[in-house]
């Protein structure tokens, strides 16, 4: 992303103009940026590339979008300002430099001036107080996770979600379990499970190079990519890695909300760190088996892992713990395990190659029915309907 403004103080009645690449005093004639959608996200645009990025980047083909993140730490002279960067031709990222999320509404009211935005798009109910300041033609709540159950969630989040649901015109959910939960509390809920950019992950089937840090690892390589946080069953990972010293276990991704010392450390267990979306097919190519070692706790009760279909597109056998939406849709062709012993048996079964032809045929059938392009096309029809 290219940063097009430095921080600028709204206390001095300044407006931003990203096209001009400088601060414009409010009393001067200047074109204020006009947006069709303002997105409020608890996930930063430059973090792991997942549902918000897939959906918003596709909506940007037809809408101008302002993507608003949670507040950043700031220096005294930066208070009540923001950092603005351009991520794409039609996507502008705004990072508020304010004390709390509740302050973002006033900040945006000045930034957007008198321009009314058609759609407010929420990924977290923590932003719902903004609806007391800004008005939209239509409010969309794309509920990708049950954030109220996540580690460190604010006690206020439950009431904030109730308010957001009362104001939302449309509710989208990232999986069937979430749909069943939200459909009881809102009149207009639509299930849009996480989809897949099939062409991107099918690169793992072709001649792309394996990453340097994966070369020379003992095989089989059993790999995961994604955020490493309280949703991962670290005890299971440690037990199965200890039970299979001849195999390599790789956990690609950033560590969040847990300490580095909480991670199990073994000679055959590797943490390469966060890698770009562009590089994920390269890592997948090196995996003999893809794994989804999620813990069964409050934070995973409603998840529908995006990576399931990505692993399928790469043609990888998959081992998963019994996440409800995974079991519901894929139990016949994914190895579902609850213990280290079951995990080890699944590794042995997969490496025998007995599964391959039948499972690959099933994968293709599933993948032909879904894509992020189709998902966003359906979403767009709903948000623009009168």
Same domain, 173 and 203: no
206 and 91 in one domain? no
Domain check: are 230 and 347 in the same one? yes
Nearest by Cα to 162 from 136, 179, 185, 139:
185
Task: Say yes or no: 111 and 250 in one domain.
Answer: no
pTM of this prediction?
0.86
Q: How many domains does the chain have?
A: 2
Predicted local confidence at residue 333, as pLDDT: 87
Please report how many Cα atoms fall inside a 13 Å half-sphere around the Cα of residue 144, on the Cβ side: 18
Pair 192, 171: CB distance under 8 Å: no
- Are residues 180 and 255 located together in one domain of the fold? no
DSSP 60-128: TTTS-EEEE-------GGGTTEEEEEEEETTEEEEEEESSSGGGHHHHHHHHSTTPPEEEEEES-GGGG
Look at 12-21, 127-136, 267-276 and tell me which has the smallest mean pLDDT: 12-21
**Would the pLDDT of 56 be above 60?**
yes
Same domain, 187 and 213: no
CA angle 213/239/246 to nearest 5° reads 50
One domain for residues 34 and 180: yes
> Are 149 and 205 contained in the same domain?
no
- Where residue 44 sits, what CATH number does that domain have? 3.40.50.2000
- Tell whether 172 and 208 lie within a shared domain: no
Closest CA to 39 of 159, 130, 146: 130
How much of the chain exceeds pLDDT 70, in percent?
Answer: 89
- Do 333 and 204 belong to one domain? yes
Are residues 230 and 354 both part of a single domain?
Answer: yes
Model confidence at 12: pLDDT above 80: no
Are 367 and 198 within 8 A, CB to CB?
A: yes
pLDDT digits (tens, 9 = 90+) for 85-96: 999 889 999 999
CA dist., res. 283 & res. 214, Å (int): 8
Domain that holds residue 86: 2-195+373-384
| pLDDT (0 to 100) of residue 194 | 86
Quick check: 21 pLDDT over 60?
no
Residues 11 and 101 reside in one and the same domain: yes
Which run of H or of E encompasses 18? Answer: none
Residue 229 is classified by DSSP as S
Each as own residue / partner, the long-range contacts of residues 350-359 (CB below 8 Å, 24 or more positions apart, any chain) are 350/288, 350/289, 350/317, 350/319, 351/220, 351/288, 351/289, 355/317, 356/317, 358/333, 359/317, 359/333
Q: Which residue in 97, 100, 95 sits closest to 47, CA to CA?
A: 95
Q: What does the DSSP 8-state code read for residue 288? A: S
């Amino acid at each position: 992303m290219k940063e097009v403004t430095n921080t600028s103080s709204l206390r001095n009645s300044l407006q931003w103009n990203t096209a001009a690449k400088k601060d414009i005093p409010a009393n001067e004639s200047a074109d204020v940026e006009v947006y069709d959608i303002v997105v409020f996200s608890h996930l930063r645009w430059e973090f792991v590339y997942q549902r918000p990025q897939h959906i918003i980047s596709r909506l940007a083909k037809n809408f101008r979008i302002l993507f608003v993140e949670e507040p950043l730490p700031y220096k005294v002279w930066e208070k009540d300002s923001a950092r603005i960067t351009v991520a794409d031709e039609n996507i502008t990222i705004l990072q508020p430099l304010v004390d709390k999320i509740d302050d973002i509404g006033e900040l945006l009211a000045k930034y957007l001036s008198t321009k009314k935005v058609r759609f407010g798009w929420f990924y977290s109910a923590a932003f719902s107080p903004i609806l007391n300041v800004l008005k939209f033609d239509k409010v969309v709540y794309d509920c990708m996770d049950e954030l109220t159950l996540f580690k460190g969630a604010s006690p206020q989040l439950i009431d904030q979600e109730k308010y957001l649901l009362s104001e939302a015109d449309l509710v989208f959910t990232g999986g069937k379990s979430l749909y069943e939960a939200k459909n009881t509390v809102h009149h207009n809920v639509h299930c849009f499970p996480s989809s897949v950019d099939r062409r991107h992950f099918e690169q793992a089937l072709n001649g792309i190079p394996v990453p340097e840090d994966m070369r020379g690892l003992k095989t089989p390589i059993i790999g995961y990519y994604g955020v490493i946080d309280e949703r991962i069953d670290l005890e299971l990972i440690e037990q199965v890695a200890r039970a299979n010293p001849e195999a390599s276990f790789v956990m690609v991704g950033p560590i969040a909300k847990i300490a580095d010392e909480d991670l199990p450390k073994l000679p055959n267990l590797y943490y390469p760190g966060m890698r770009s979306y562009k590089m994920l097919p390269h890592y997948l190519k090196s995996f003999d088996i893809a794994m989804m070692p999620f813990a069964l706790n409050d934070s995973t009760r409603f998840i529908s892992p995006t990576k399931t279909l990505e692993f399928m597109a790469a043609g990888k056998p998959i081992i998963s713990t019994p996440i409800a939406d995974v079991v519901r849709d894929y139990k016949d062709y994914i190895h579902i395990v609850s213990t280290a012993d079951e995990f080890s048996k699944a590794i042995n079964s997969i490496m025998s190659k007995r599964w391959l032809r039948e499972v690959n045929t099933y994968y293709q059938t599933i993948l032909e029915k879904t894509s992020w392009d189709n998902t966003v096309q359906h979403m767009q029809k709903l948000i623009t309907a009168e």
